Amino acid sequence: MSKSLTQGSYFLNIALKYFENFEFECMHEAKRKAKVWTSKIRWIENDVMCSITDKSREKFREEIKNGDTLFFQAINEKFITLSPVNRELVEKIIDRLISDEDKKLNPQIENNENN
């Protein structure tokens, strides 16, 4: 699954959660409109899932099931309030966490792997 399709699907899932919440809060005509919008988002999400390979679909569903899609939104909201220098620092920390140096940065990771 391409990076753009993965991110688009992820954002569709986030949008669905927000629109479902909006639908829950609405009454009368607004609720009917919100149901149509959530239905359309579900249709697009389903159409994308039907268009990708079984392996990609399973990987994406696992990510959605095990991850909190709104977590990344919350991190992003905090991230944009940082100064450019601090954003760069956070990016470097994330790069180190992903790299082989993560055990040097966070010794607790090594302790957890040994248990």
What's the pLDDT tens digit per position in 2-48?
778 877 888 888 899 899 999 999 999 999 999 999 999 999 999 99
- Report the C-alpha gap between 62 and 35 in whole angstroms: 26
> For 62, which DSSP code?
H
For residue 10, the model assigns a pLDDT of 82
For residue 20, the model assigns a pLDDT of 94
- Report the C-alpha gap between 5 and 41 in whole angstroms: 15
The answer, yes or no, to whether residue 115 has pLDDT greater than 60, is: no
Q: pLDDT (tens digit, 9 = 90+) per residue, 83-100?
A: 999 999 999 988 888 886
For residue 1, the model assigns a pLDDT of 60
Give the tokens for residue 111: 């302790």
Q: What is the mean pLDDT of residues 49-56?
A: 88
For residue 36, the model assigns a pLDDT of 96
The answer, yes or no, to whether residue 73 has pLDDT greater than 90, is: no
